[in-house]
Amino acid sequence: MIKAVIRNKEFIFCHPATTSRGTLLKKHVFFIILYDTDNPLRRGIGECSMFPGLSMDDVDNFEKKLSDIVNMINKGWFNFKTPLREWPSINFAIETALLDLKGGGQRILYPSEFTNGKDTILINGLVWMGSKEEMLKQIDEKISQGFHCLKLKIGAINFDDEYTLIQGIRLKFQSEVLEIRVDANGAFYPKEAIEKLKRLSDLDLHSIEQPILPSQIDDMAKLCKISPLPIALDEELIGKYPLENKRRLLQIIKPQFIVLKPGLLGGIASCEEWITIANEMNIGWWVTSSLETNIGLNAIAQWTYTLNNPMHQGLSTGLLFENNINSPLALIGEKLYYFPRKKWDNLFD
């Protein structure tokens, strides 16, 4: 019989994590640990990857709901086959904890050449919002580290300053050498968005994520139709269930790309539905983490490797926290490695 326990820990950001929605200095994270009563020493762990201010389940009764679900598991009442659609971060935790448990409790959810230490995953360099000087410093660091794809968070400072900053990068590095993606996190107003997209398109960018806030479907569909700069949906995908609603959203908006965040979208199985639909509609996609610790990042990275997507993935957030969980994961340059001989921290005590 499967049993469950909850662990939680506060993680401190190495640098303030700033988006157009605000700045985070720390993050309180809950983990679900599953074990079989026949073999209680073998345990699987999953991270409730809740993004404050963005996740569907960032609500006042989250901890009570988490406790209720764990109690149901311990009483044998919980149906592991029924997804918790209204609680995507909890669903992601249970889904990945089960995969870990079935794999032997060694944090190997998807055995592959990646987990064997024989292959890597290409990662984009993430540049957080900040002052022009702070962003320039981050950009210089990423380029010197060997990144060939940068993702810049924009929308927090003056748009002309952001444009000039990106323009300066492009003057030094052509698109064949350096791919640049930008993420507005919904910072633009619909009426101004197209003019800003036109200006940004002059800089030969790869794409822009979520130029306007989600739930403005008609406006987003219009932008995707007329924008000279490819648009990727991000927050727009949150809370879209079941499969038919996902398909309908993409049919209406017709984006050029979608960005998949398992912790926000209800887990791996839910993201695989998005991939199936996107492939049918010739919509590009890539996978991104969303402020996970190394527990959640490990699960996402192992799954991502199995997808054989040659694009740079957004899995660089393992370097976010001062007190992150020690793991076999290591980001060296623009490549994410898994070193099998490196040990995990013990979260079970």
Active site residue 151: no
Q: Provide the pLDDT confidence category of residue 19 given band limits of 50, 70 and 90.
A: low
Q: Residue 17: what pLDDT?
A: 76
21: confidence class by pLDDT, cuts 50, 70, 90: low
Say which of 151, 240, 246, 261 is annotated catalytic: 261
Same fold, 2-102 and 121-338: no
Q: Does the pLDDT value for residue 349 go beyond 70?
A: no
Question: Given the structure tokens 């990857």, which residue do they identify?
Answer: 49
**For residues 157 and 194, which has the higher predicted lDDT (pLDDT)?**
194
**Is position 342 annotated as part of the catalytic site?**
no
Question: Has residue 348 got a pLDDT over 70?
Answer: no
Which tokens sit at 114? Answer: 């990646």
Catalytic residue among 153, 196, 240, 246: 153
Residue type, 23: T
Q: Is the pTM of this model over 0.85?
A: yes
User: Which residues, 6+ apart, have CB-to-CB distance to 159 below 8 Å?
Assistant: 196
What is the model's pLDDT at position 131?
85
Cβ contact 313:286 at 8 Å: yes
pLDDT at residue 83 is higher than 70 = yes
Q: Could you tell me the CATH superfamily of domain 2-102?
A: Enolase-like, N-terminal domain (3.30.390.10)
pLDDT for position 340: 97
φ, ψ for residue 149 (rounded to 5)? -145, 120
Q: How do residues 88-129 score in pLDDT, each as one tens digit?
A: 999 999 999 999 999 999 999 999 999 999 999 999 999 888
Q: Mean pLDDT, to the nearest integer, of 242-268?
A: 97
pLDDT band for position 285 (cuts 50, 70, 90): very high
pLDDT of residue 156: 78
What residue segments make up the domains of the chain, in order of their start? 2-102, 121-338
What homologous superfamily is domain 121-338 in, according to CATH? Enolase-like C-terminal domain (3.20.20.120)
Residue 245 burial by Cβ neighbours in a 10 Å radius (0-12, 13-18, 19+): exposed
Share of the chain above pLDDT 90, in %: 87
Question: In the prediction, which pLDDT does 225 show?
Answer: 98
Rounded distance between C-alpha atoms, residue 281 and residue 283, angstroms: 5
pLDDT for position 22: 72
How far is 220 from 222, CA to CA, in rounded Å?
A: 5
